[in-house]
Structure 1
Amino acid sequence: FPGEVTVDGDHLIVNGDRIRVFAERDPSKLPWSELGVDVVHESTGFFASKEKASAHLAAGARKVIISAPGGKDVDATIVYGVNHDVLKASDTVISNASCTTNCLAPLVKPLHDAIGVVNGLMTTIHAYTNDQVLTDVYHSDLRRARAAPQSMIPTKTGAASAVGLVLPELNGKLDGYAMRVPIINVSVVDLNFVAARSTSVEEVDAILREAAAGDLKGVLAVNDEPLVSIDFNHNPHSSMYEASLTKVSEGTLVKVCSWYDNEWGFSNRMLDTTIALINAG
């Protein structure tokens, strides 16, 4: 980190900015009203529904953004760049979806708009996460009970089906799974879909390049270099389309891949969504 971080009592000081630090299990007891907090980022993983996250509202915050897929009761699930324009002043608790949905949705939207997505299956080759373990121990998911640095571990993900929450016209048309691999950060989405009409590698490539330079600039990027996962570490985009891996079979079966820093890219979108939520009223 290119800066200075120190501690002074109950304050974390980052480059001269004083940030209060709390140790409180009950969000309703946090002094958000006293501090004049507008938006809380609920990133503990323990309050991922509107019912639970509303404890922050009771404490005086105006809005809450959950940094994970939210429960069915959240006011909206947002993927910035894809559907942040649906935010309303009345929204109080929203979800920023998952890092994988934030990679997939900006990839799918321009393709669906241009050539149509009939249905599709996604695999995310995903860095291991803090829900996994470093040695073989107990876990409710027996595969996640295995040592993360030692194996490729298949597991479920709702990231593909969650695209239907931000693009309703694709609800029920996408599914997939995750393959957790022994790297600490950066993941890649591998999407296979049936197009509504015949297309080509060249057309798919042109569609995504146009989107990355236009409406999705800053969210979707294009990679033309022979890079590997570590090279995308700390990249702020949600989705980095890998142009060299696009395939089209028989005109309508399409494969596209996109990289994402599953930590830093998602964190950048949390900030973008915060500004959009404030601007909504």
Structure 2
Amino acid sequence: MNNEKQHVYLREWHRQEELAEQMLPMIGQLYRDKNVMMSVYGRSLVNATTIDILKAHRFARMILDDELSVVETFPLLEAICSLDLAPARIDLGRLTVRYLEHEGKVAVEEFVKQELATVNTGRQAILDEPQDVVLYGFGRIGRLLARILIEKAGSGEKLRLRAAVVRKGSEDDLLKRASLLRRDSVHGPFNGIITIDEEENAIIANGNMIRIIYSDSPETVDYTQYGIRNAIVVDNTGKWRDREGLSRHLKANGVSQVLLTAPGKGDIPNIVAGINNNLVQPEEKIYSAASCTTNAIVPVLKALHDRFGVVSGHVETCHSYTNDQNLIDNYHKADRRGRSAPLNMVITETGAAKAVAKVLPELAGKLSGNAIRVPTPNVSLAILNLELDKATDKATLNSYLRSISLDSPLQNQVDYTNSPDVVSSDYVGSRHACIVDSLATIVEGNRCVLYVWYDNEFGYSCQVVRLVQDMAGLEWPTLPQ
């Protein structure tokens, strides 16, 4: 009997694996040719592997309390491929569940045609012309932004990464820049092929030509000589954080907007993607994507405040060390940061609690904050100790945050885990702004303590790209509604 079970399990696995393999080119063609992005309950299938597809289906059990199989979704994907679609985001999981509720009363092809009628209008360009993007700086965040933008390039009709501006380091600068993009000690190898074009001084990554432009100041670059026009410049150096400094980018030929990957000072709009995107307006040319910690805590605070009300609280972050710290003890202008980052926990300051007020004005003056730099290279933990306006319990609060992560406008920002064994390294590469660790939640009446993980490099970079898409006017209808 046990041997028979073994064969049954293996046969079923092979069946699902084969269907997932057949889905790969279909998903890829929809994305490249029609700008149609497929997902399963928010888990993207674009550029996925066979195993990624199967895991996305497995994830659906958190919502459905039942398994969702590629056996069920495959016929609907085939029907989708037969349509002449305009750009859209299509949730294959939701579509399949809705179809199964009809219990075979309507043919798959007819059902899909009805559900997707609003986008079954023929292939269209999502923008009048592709949006050029330039990275000013090519460090940790810059190279991760490059990876994400290259991954999302599709047919090249949306965001096009055209260049990275740096200071020349050595005669083999181009080779070294390409090598750093190709290999990453934390995030692993680049998913694709990278070569260099020395004549153009460019990195060729999965067919995307990224010119490496050398300059010591923003205003001296003439992007138009490289065919770059109306570019969004993403300044990931952090060197200029006020309007005066960042406006220097706008003096360069070929630049239309600027985005800072650090908290902006003064009147610069600080935006957390998914929260206050309404501040992206045609008349504004300079934006800040706030900090990684602000992006991590604001979505959860927003969700809690909407449901329970946040009276006051303290935010403590255990943050991975950064390049600003020293590897070994040495002079540093800031207190404590001169001590060896890989060997010590270092108490330092964070402006994240105050920065929350710029994104959520209703929480102004209600939060304090501090930070501890810890000896890990990536993934951080925010601990939210809050007083709520309404009393609740652990099950209710966790259930609410789980629903926020699975089916809400904050689905891309908030993730949720109930695993008893997760640790920080499990979240390297997370595309969410934060992950609520539900088993660590503490609730006593109107007080709660939440533990929120976040990939302070890759997760934050995904938030930055979401904001760039908004600045570019990229909008996809999401179906089924």
TM-score (norm 2): 0.57
Secondary structure, aligned partner of 1:241: strand
Matched residue type, 1:11: A
Please state how far the C-alpha of 1:33 moved relative to its aligned partner: 4.0
Secondary structure, aligned partner of 2:324: coil
Secondary structure, aligned partner of 2:472: helix
Is residue 273 of structure 1 aligned with residue 462 of structure 2? Answer: no
Q: How big is each residue's C-alpha offset from its partner over 1:231-281, in whole Å with a ceiling of 9 and x where there is no partner?
A: 1001110010111011012x111101111000001111111001111229x
Distance 1:72 1:173 in 2: 20
Is residue 231 of structure 1 aligned with residue 426 of structure 2? Answer: yes
Structure 1 unaligned segments of length 5 or more: list them.
none
Matched residue type, 2:381: V
Match of 2:265 among 49, 60, 71: 71
Is residue 23 of structure 1 aligned with residue 218 of structure 2? Answer: no
Structure with bigger RCO (C-alpha 8 Å, 6+ apart) = 1
Over the aligned positions, Cα root-mean-square deviation in angstroms equals 1.4
Residues 237-252 of structure 1 aligned to structure 2 (within 5 Å) = 237-249=432-444, 251-252=445-446
Is residue 109 of structure 1 aligned with residue 298 of structure 2? Answer: no
Distance 1:88 1:33 in 2: 25
Q: Which residue of 2 aligns with 1:140?
A: 333
Please state how far the C-alpha of 1:87 moved relative to its aligned partner: 1.6
Q: Which residue of 2 aligns with 1:216?
A: 410
Is residue 255 of structure 1 aligned with residue 449 of structure 2? Answer: yes
Q: Is the 8 A contact 1:12 1:20 kept in 2?
A: yes
Distance 1:266 1:276 in 2: 16
Distance 2:267 2:279 in 1: 16
Match of 1:4 among 188, 193, 218: 193
Structure 2 unaligned segments of length 5 or more: list them.
1-189, 475-481
Is residue 191 of structure 1 aligned with residue 365 of structure 2? Answer: no
TM-score (norm 1): 0.96
Secondary structure, aligned partner of 2:398: helix
Runs of 4+ in 1 over 3 A off after TM superposition: none
Distance 2:311 2:366 in 1: 7
Q: Is the 8 A contact 1:122 1:191 kept in 2?
A: yes
Distance 1:204 1:51 in 2: 44
Please state how far the C-alpha of 1:86 moved relative to its aligned partner: 2.6
Q: Is the 8 A contact 1:119 1:193 kept in 2?
A: yes
Distance 2:267 2:389 in 1: 33
Distance 2:224 2:466 in 1: 23
Distance 1:209 1:86 in 2: 28
Matched residue type, 1:62: S
- More displaced 10-residue stretch of structure 1: 185-194 or 14-23: 14-23
Q: Which residue of 1 aligns with 2:289?
A: 96
Distance 2:230 2:221 in 1: 10
Structure with the bigger percentage of strand: 1
Distance 2:409 2:347 in 1: 34
Distance 1:33 1:49, change over 3 A: farther
Distance 1:82 1:204 in 2: 20
Q: Is the 8 A contact 1:232 1:259 kept in 2?
A: yes
Matched residue type, 2:280: L
Please state how far the C-alpha of 1:206 moved relative to its aligned partner: 1.9
Question: Radius of gyration: which is bigger?
Answer: 2
Secondary structure, aligned partner of 1:101: helix
Structure with the bigger percentage of helix: 2
Is residue 168 of structure 1 aligned with residue 361 of structure 2? Answer: yes
Q: Which residue of 1 aligns with 2:36?
A: none
Matched residue type, 1:245: A
Please state how far the C-alpha of 1:110 moved relative to its aligned partner: 0.7
Distance 2:222 2:399 in 1: 50
Distance 2:441 2:378 in 1: 23
Please state how far the C-alpha of 1:140 moved relative to its aligned partner: 1.4
Please state how far the C-alpha of 1:73 moved relative to its aligned partner: 3.1
Distance 2:460 2:349 in 1: 20
Size of the aligned set, in residue pairs, is 279
Please state how far the C-alpha of 1:142 moved relative to its aligned partner: 2.6
Percent pairwise identity: 37
